[in-house]
A and B are shown apart, each in its own frame.
Chain A
């Protein structure tokens, strides 16, 4: 798919932010401190209203793409990826503004890309929460059933993956050329899964275990335990993802459909207000069954 010496590849970091200047500052500090800094840093400001603009104005070497309205992280990443892709960088390194990349994070991602046994369309970091555990929201979906490919990757010190999240994930520009951009209309949640699983359905992606990023959320949330009202997006987007059928097919699609039902059951069961949870879920299911805006 793509060729050349991965170690000399160029990288554009794409960060999406919305009204979290303190976290964004830390995220950018971490990028500055990289043992192998990115060649370019693009911050997509989702029409933040607070101090974000001042913070960004005071930073050198950063390109800011300010959006007129808040398009959610999905819209921000879609716009950022489109903008960065036009600038011909080899890799587009996707980071939420609450991602704190370890010093060698990017260097190890590129080293992983260089030693990958197959042309890698995606290389991702291990994402941890504050206490060192794998972050539940970014738990890797390992492709362990593809035993031969997995073994081949492991021989190079890489773990074959099926999807990844936009918390320190590098997407190769050729994959963007072939597959386009993430679904901006998701607003939040599952846009990264839709996009990376669509790319990796017939391609190879890996986690480089030595590349570590910290997802600095206040709690180790996942899509069920995060702010409860946002489950609407999970219920809607999951259904869109399933219905579109470009990311998962066959048995994987069935598995993902069952995961959807389990998620709804767990959400409703564990919600402090079941009535509210049912209403939120039904709204998401209703909109997920409607025509998906493209």
Chain B
């Protein structure tokens, strides 16, 4: 198996151990410190894993079968059902290409929240790092939109990772993400609406 450094970001839950299968593990407080962590990694591949996510023994080996592209696991809930909001956006602009990828048991993505993502270090450092202060909960989405524009990313549905639904960000973060071009018009409207609604709900 290829050597991979796991980069676990976010506040770790109590009793969390190292993710299975990685050669080494680095812990980060948030995705914003990714560039530095990538430089410290002594392997050509890094596995970015949300500290709140639970990977199985098969999560990483299955991603490694698709390491020719940035490869994302399928986030599922505790019952094993896919969490749609955590998948990101499927790139269906080129139907023929999509069908070809599906025959390889994977799905091209335009962007995804970072839950479990295997990526080459050289690619991860070739784009500016995620910016959580500016984009908040959407920092991973904004970053992968830029990353996947450089090299298309793939959802690998056979690689499962248990994860909570992604948090809805603040309206200001949603607007900045929309202005950064990570979302298309419809997505931008929906996400901004959700963010405003969540804020209104929290204020009640």
Contact = CB atoms under 8 A, between A and B. Distances in A.
A142 B98 contact: yes
Given A157-B102, A159-B102, A209-B100, A151 B107 contact: yes
A86 interface: no
Contacts of A148: 81-84, 87
B157 A159 contact: no
Given A133-B96, A144-B92, A158 B102 contact: yes
Contacts of B104: 157
A31 interface: no
Contacts of B90: 144-145, 147, 150
B20 to A, nearest CB: 21
Nearest to B105: A157
A209 B35 CA distance: 39
A134 B96 contact: yes
Most buried by B among A133, A134, A150, A152: A150
Interface in B77-126: 81-84, 87-90, 92, 95-96, 98-107
A62 to B, nearest CB: 32
Interface string B151-178: 0000101100000000000000000000
A142 B95 contact: yes
A155 B158 contact: yes
Contacts of A190: none
Given A142-B92, A148-B81, A210-B103, A159 B87 contact: no
Interface in A191-230: 207, 209-210
Contacts of A145: 90
Interface of B is mostly: mixed
A154 interface: yes
Contacts of A72: none
A151 B87 contact: yes
A157 B74 CA distance: 15
B103 A151 contact: no
Contacts of A139: 95
B98 A159 contact: yes
Nearest to A156: B105
A284 interface: no
B155 A134 contact: no
Contact of A140 (B81, B83, B95, B106): B95
Nearest to B107: A154
B82 A154 contact: no
Nearest to B159: A155
A109 interface: no
Most buried by B among A145, A159, A207: A159
Contacts of B83: 148
A126 B100 CA distance: 10
A145 B81 CA distance: 16
15 contacts: A142-B98, A144-B92, A145-B90, A147-B82, A150-B107, A151-B82, A151-B87, A151-B157, A152-B82, A154-B102, A154-B155, A155-B157, A155-B158, A156-B105, A159-B99
Interface of B: 74, 81-84, 87-90, 92, 95-96, 98-107, 155, 157-158
